[in-house]
């Protein structure tokens, strides 16, 4: 192979249980970061060149097949560099990870690796790259294959976040340089086609999975890429071509339908696959995820003069989003002569039918010595499935000059996911010192998966009517991830009321990739808010002769837009005003709101000319002003609000309760 000249998450720790392992524990003999189980290994280039690029090896592989042990699935020794990922941002092509001087991606633009490849929790390898205002996180982990049922598949995930202030048009391309043991040019098998030449699949033509192997007689490695599924992001286009063309073209490349998989500019077969997600707009602060998978294929092979292989998902779930599943069969003539009158029959259990693809009974005719063919069906139930069951699917291959061969596969039908919701706000409110308590108040949500299969990418969002809002630190939509059967997740939002009273509805809306959106409503009963302007001492203990005591002008429950003016009378023989400061209602972030601080005549007994306006101050409760008095003498007195005018932003006056302040200085 002429691939020579090799040169040596945003991860947020959101729980104390998340740990990042020291790299030394996972570094292999070739200097790669390696994570493995008994089936496959994921290894990532630690750079400095090609940092973050990955490859896959088989370790123990299929327990029933020794031929795949310690063979590559993606080309990558001694260090991965041929498989790479392109991020297209506003028409410019950036390459994920560290820079390269080699053929694959050399003409792309590079950013900064902001998170070195790390093993997190001993179960995934995470790398992060920043490309201008865009942060890309690559996460590689193990998942169960849909056809083998073993964790022999790599989940390949990219999270793309727009950290800028403007929306960006972002797309993704993932190139996988497939390699099945020593075979670097194995054909791709898509539905009923053995793909040996450049081919593209677009949107509705993209199947649930594709497979690759060299021979039914003695297959070394049988690979599979999943393209559709509840936890996957279906690509918009899939290109099957030679690796050299994809290496040279970081987004657009030399694609020629009908051309064999000979490496561009060379004379060796070298097949590769590219998954494209079309550029779409991504808003500031928004994150988009792209998920695919690649690993081992589950194919039940029955050898014979006519060898037969049969593949289908080990488990299927019929719900509103998945109503059929893919079955693939392969046949190879191992006779030294032509097989005649060849026929293939798919036997399905009662209650199932073929809705797309090959006929259940297909007359192939003649099949040359060494010849092979394949078939694909989409199978669906004819009615509703109520109970969990195991299906026996069988393919029979017949020829007039050889014995019949049968392959059988079991498919388990699982009950779908079902989400049960709970939402509850406070049952009682009270008013303490002219203010509603609690406010903000907690709203508790709970989502439980009561179904028989996982719910993927579960999201919960709180919908609030006018008059209620989330506190600024809370997110309206929560990402709950995967909920397995029986899993329950609880969470809380903090909600602020802005003066609305009566019976107020709140709704929680929950959805996932494989369940219908559903919602639950809870009503809270908020009593009438007493709207008021009143006076109180900040610290009554300071009301002693010779000390400075602070009187607070308080506003209660008038909403988020207010114009005000008032005067204050005070006993000049007991108190001497020293200075006036604004309250927190008159400050918005770093902005000082309009507030007139009156001039002081220490002996007049009146402070005239308070006025101002405040906007967007939650429920309009808090301190308008602070008046700092020197306490002159003992005796009884009163602070009185005079000439009070408080109106909303439209000029409509409030009918406020006015609270004067009696006091006694001892």
Q: Is the pLDDT of residue 17 over 60?
A: no
Q: Is the pLDDT of residue 214 over 50?
A: yes
Query: Looking at 464, 495, 526, which one is the last position of a domain?
Result: 526
Domain shared by 221 and 282, yes or no: yes
Q: Is the pLDDT of residue 385 over 70?
A: no
CA distance linking residue 265 with residue 146, whole number of Å: 37
Q: Which residues pair with 442 in a beta bridge?
A: 494
Query: Looking at 247, 280, 296, which one is the last position of a domain?
Result: 296
CA distance linking residue 129 with residue 160, whole number of Å: 10
pLDDT bucket at 15, cuts 50 / 70 / 90: very low
Domain shared by 277 and 129, yes or no: yes
Q: With contact defined as beta carbons under 8 Å apart, do 335 and 432 qualify? A: no
Are β-strands 92-95 and 109-110 bridged in parallel, bridged antiparallel, or unpaired?
A: parallel
Q: With contact defined as beta carbons under 8 Å apart, do 50 and 102 qualify? A: yes
Quote the strand ranges of 548-659, DSSP E: 548-556, 561-569, 575-582, 587-588, 591-592, 595-596, 606-615, 622-631, 635-648, 657-659
Q: How far is CA 540 from the centre of its chain?
A: 53
Poorest-pLDDT segment among 152-166, 301-315, 440-454, 490-504: 490-504
Phi then psi for residue 156, to 5 deg, are -115, 110
SS3 87: strand
Q: Is the pLDDT of residue 170 over 90?
A: yes
Q: For the chain, how are helix, strand and coil distributed in percent, rounded to 5?
A: 5, 55, 40
Q: With contact defined as beta carbons under 8 Å apart, do 169 and 134 qualify? A: no
Phi then psi for residue 407, to 5 deg, are -125, 135
Confidence (pLDDT) at 361 = 95
Residue 327 is encoded by which pair of tokens? 């079955």
Q: Is the pLDDT of residue 305 over 60?
A: yes
The string of pLDDT tens digits covering residues 188-212 is 999 999 999 999 999 889 999 999 9
The string of pLDDT tens digits covering residues 432-447 is 777 778 888 999 999 9
Domain shared by 305 and 292, yes or no: no
Domain shared by 107 and 247, yes or no: yes
Confidence (pLDDT) at 560 = 66
Poorest-pLDDT segment among 91-100, 145-154, 434-443, 450-459: 434-443
Q: Which residues pair with 330 in a beta bridge?
A: 309, 374
Spell out the long-range contacts of 467-470 with Cβ–Cβ below 8 A and sequence spacing 24 or more. 467/497, 467/498, 467/499, 467/500, 467/504, 468/495, 468/496, 468/497, 468/498, 468/500, 468/504, 468/506, 469/495, 469/496, 469/498, 470/494, 470/495, 470/496
Phi then psi for residue 126, to 5 deg, are -120, 135
Q: Which residues pair with 315 in a beta bridge?
A: 412
Q: What's the whole-number mean pLDDT along residues 94-110?
A: 94
Is 4 inside any structural domain? no
Is 342 inside any structural domain? yes
Q: Is the pLDDT of residue 114 over 80?
A: yes
Confidence (pLDDT) at 12 = 31
Closest of 274, 151, 292, 299 to residue 214, by C-alpha = 299
Instruction: Please identify which residue in the block is written with the tokens 């392109």.
Output: 86
SS3 655: coil
SS3 431: strand
pLDDT bucket at 588, cuts 50 / 70 / 90: confident
Confidence (pLDDT) at 62 = 82
What does the angle CA 285 – CA 291 – CA 295 come to, to the nearest 5 degrees?
A: 155
Q: What's the whole-number mean pLDDT along residues 15-37?
A: 74
Domain shared by 312 and 459, yes or no: no
Distances (CA, A) of 541 to 538, 550, 552, 553, 664: 9, 11, 14, 18, 11
Domain shared by 35 and 130, yes or no: yes
Whole-number percent of the chain with pLDDT over 70: 94
Domain shared by 330 and 400, yes or no: yes
Is 18 inside any structural domain? no
Sheet containing strand 441-449, strands side by side: 419-424, 441-449, 488-497, 468-470
Is 335 inside any structural domain? yes
Confidence (pLDDT) at 81 = 96
Any residues with CB less than 8 A from the CB of 660 and at least 6 apart, and which? 534, 535, 638, 639, 640, 641
Domain shared by 618 and 557, yes or no: yes
Sheet containing strand 188-190, strands side by side: 112-120, 124-131, 134-143, 153-162, 287-296, 223-226, 209-212, 188-190, 193-195
The string of pLDDT tens digits covering residues 639-661 is 999 999 988 877 888 888 888 99
Confidence (pLDDT) at 619 = 61
Residue 174 is encoded by which pair of tokens? 């993932």
Closest of 507, 463, 512 to residue 483, by C-alpha = 512
- The whole domain housing 402 covers 301-414
Domain shared by 262 and 326, yes or no: no
**Per residue in 487-507, is it b (16+ CB within 10 Å) or e — as a string?**
beeeeebebbbbbeeeebebe
The string of pLDDT tens digits covering residues 235-264 is 999 999 999 999 999 999 999 999 999 999
Q: Which helix (H) or strand (E) is 52 found in, with range?
A: none
Poorest-pLDDT segment among 57-61, 67-71, 375-379: 67-71
Average pLDDT, the chain: 89
Domain shared by 101 and 72, yes or no: yes
pTM of the model: 0.79
pLDDT bucket at 23, cuts 50 / 70 / 90: low
In the chain, how many domains are there? 4
Domain shared by 552 and 629, yes or no: yes
pLDDT bucket at 584, cuts 50 / 70 / 90: confident
Instruction: Please identify which residue in the block is written with the tokens 């006025």.
Output: 611
Specify the DSSP class assigned to residue 183: B
Q: How far is CA 576 from the centre of its chain?
A: 62
If phi > 0 it is left, if psi is from -120 to 50 it is alpha, else beta; for residue 314 that is: alpha
Helix, strand counts (H, E) of the chain? 1, 51
Cβ atoms within 10 Å of 2's Cβ, excluding its own: 12
Distances (CA, A) of 416 to 59, 240, 253, 288, 354: 33, 33, 41, 26, 21
Query: Looking at 511, 526, 541, which one is the last position of a domain?
Result: 526
CATH of residue 354's domain is 2.60.40.10
Phi then psi for residue 594, to 5 deg, are -60, 125
Residue 660 is encoded by which pair of tokens? 């004067």
Q: Is the pLDDT of residue 6 over 60?
A: no
Specify the DSSP class assigned to residue 482: E
Phi then psi for residue 541, to 5 deg, are -65, -20
Are β-strands 315-317 and 402-414 bridged in parallel, bridged antiparallel, or unpaired?
A: parallel
Q: Is the pLDDT of residue 20 over 60?
A: no
Q: How far is CA 254 from the centre of its chain?
A: 33
Confidence (pLDDT) at 530 = 79
Domain shared by 306 and 257, yes or no: no
Instruction: Please identify which residue in the block is written with the tokens 């009696």.
Output: 662
Is 277 inside any structural domain? yes
Decide which of 600 and 1 is more confident.
600
């Amino acid at each position: 192979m002429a691939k020579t000249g090799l040169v040596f998450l945003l991860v947020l720790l959101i729980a104390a249980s998340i740990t990042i392992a020291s790299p030394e524990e996972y570094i292999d003999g070739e200097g790669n970061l390696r994570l493995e189980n008994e089936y496959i290994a994921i290894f990532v280039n630690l750079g400095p060149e090609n940092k973050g690029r990955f490859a896959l090896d088989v370790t123990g592989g299929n327990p029933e097949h020794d031929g795949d042990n310690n063979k590559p699935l993606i080309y990558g020794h001694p260090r991965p560099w041929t498989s790479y990922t392109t991020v297209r941002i506003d028409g410019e092509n950036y390459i994920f990870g560290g820079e390269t001087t080699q053929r694959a991606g050399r003409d792309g633009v590079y950013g900064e690796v902001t998170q070195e490849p790390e093993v997190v929790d001993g179960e995934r390898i995470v790398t992060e790259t920043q490309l201008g205002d865009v942060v890309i996180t690559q996460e590689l982990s193990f998942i169960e294959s849909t056809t083998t049922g073993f964790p022999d598949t790599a989940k390949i995930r990219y999270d793309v976040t727009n950290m800028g202030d403007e929306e960006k048009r972002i797309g993704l391309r993932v190139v996988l340089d497939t390699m099945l043991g020593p075979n670097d040019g194995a054909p791709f098998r898509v539905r009923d086609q053995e793909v040996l030449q450049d081919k593209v699949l677009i949107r509705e033509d993209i199947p649930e999975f594709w497979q690759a192997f060299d021979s039914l007689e003695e297959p070394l490695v049988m690979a599979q890429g999943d393209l559709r599924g509840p936890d996957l992001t279906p690509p918009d286009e899939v290109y099957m071509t030679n690796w050299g063309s994809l290496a040279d073209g970081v987004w657009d490349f030399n694609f020629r339908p009908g051309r064999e998989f000979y490496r561009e500019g060379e004379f060796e077969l070298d097949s590769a696959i590219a998954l494209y997600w079309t550029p779409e707009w991504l808003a500031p602060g928004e994150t988009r995820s792209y998920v695919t998978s690649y690993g081992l294929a589950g194919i039940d092979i029955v050898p014979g003069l006519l060898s037969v292989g049969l593949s289908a998902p080990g488990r299927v779930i019929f719900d509103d989003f998945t109503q059929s599943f893919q079955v693939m069969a392969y046949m190879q003539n191992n006779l030294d002569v032509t097989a005649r009158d060849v026929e293939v029959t798919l036997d399905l259990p009662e209650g199932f039918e073929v809705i797309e693809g090959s006929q259940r009974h297909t007359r192939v005719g003649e099949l040359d010595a060494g010849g092979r063919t394949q078939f694909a069906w989409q199978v669906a139930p004819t009615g509703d499935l109520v109970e969990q069951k195991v299906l026996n699917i069988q393919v029979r291959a017949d020829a007039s000059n050889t014995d019949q061969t049968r392959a059988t596969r079991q498919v388990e039908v699982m009950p779908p996911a079902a989400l049960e919701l709970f939402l509850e706000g406070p049952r009682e409110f009270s008013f303490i010192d002219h203010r509603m308590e609690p406010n903000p108040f907690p709203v508790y949500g709970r989502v439980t998966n009561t179904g028989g299969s996982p719910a993927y990418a579960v999201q919960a969002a709180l919908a609030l009517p006018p008059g209620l809002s989330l506190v600024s630190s809370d997110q309206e939509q929560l990402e709950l991830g995967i909920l397995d059967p029986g899993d329950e997740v609880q969470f809380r939002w903090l909600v602020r009321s802005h003066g609305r009273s009566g019976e107020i509805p709140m709704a929680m809306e929950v959805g996932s990739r494989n369940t219908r959106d559903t919602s639950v409503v809870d009503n809270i009963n908020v009593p009438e808010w007493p709207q008021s302007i009143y006076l109180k001492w900040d610290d009554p203990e300071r009301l002693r002769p010779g000390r400075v005591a602070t009187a607070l002008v308080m506003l209660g429950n008038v909403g988020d837009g207010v114009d005000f003016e008032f005067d204050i009378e005070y006993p000049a023989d007991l108190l001497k005003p020293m200075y006036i400061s604004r309250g927190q209602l008159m400050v918005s972030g770093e902005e000082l709101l309009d507030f007139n601080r009156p001039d002081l005549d220490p002996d007049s007994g009146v402070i005239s000319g308070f006025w101002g306006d405040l906007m967007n101050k939650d429920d309009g409760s808090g301190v308008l002003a602070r008046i700092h008095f020197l306490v002159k003498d003992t005796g009884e007195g009163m602070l009185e609000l005079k000439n009070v005018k408080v109106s909303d932003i439209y000029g409509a006056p409030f009918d406020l309760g006015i609270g004067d302040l009696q006091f006694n200085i001892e």
